[in-house]
Amino acid sequence: MKKTIAGTEVDVNEEGYLTDMNQWTPEMADAIAGEEGVAPLTDDHRKVLTYLRELQAQHASITIRGVGKSGVVTTKELYALFPGGPLKKASKIAGIPKPVGCI
């Protein structure tokens, strides 16, 4: 299905996750963060988003534990930056699919 985010029409699934991470822009991250109640995005948010996009590009497994051990952010910081479902929200804002382990 189609959705307009930050003035650009993109393809999303039924949960609102981009189906093509190449359609993502930093401006979309700001818009999605607002929808998810995570705005405004800080440099720390953006570091996590960049890290998640890099992992996705490598087809690596993305888990809260893995992000917490990455050196980018601790698990506690991840929860503080993206409250109420940190990996789900961070992935959506980063323009990548919802991680397999997320409900």
Looking at the annotation, which residues are catalytic? 102
Which residues, 6 or more positions from 48, have their beta carbon under 8 angstroms from its beta carbon? 67, 72, 73, 78, 81, 82, 90, 94
Contact 49, 25 (CB under 8 A): no
Q: Which of 95, 9, 8 is nearest to 56 (CA)?
A: 95
Distance between CA atoms of 74 and 7, rounded to whole angstroms? 33
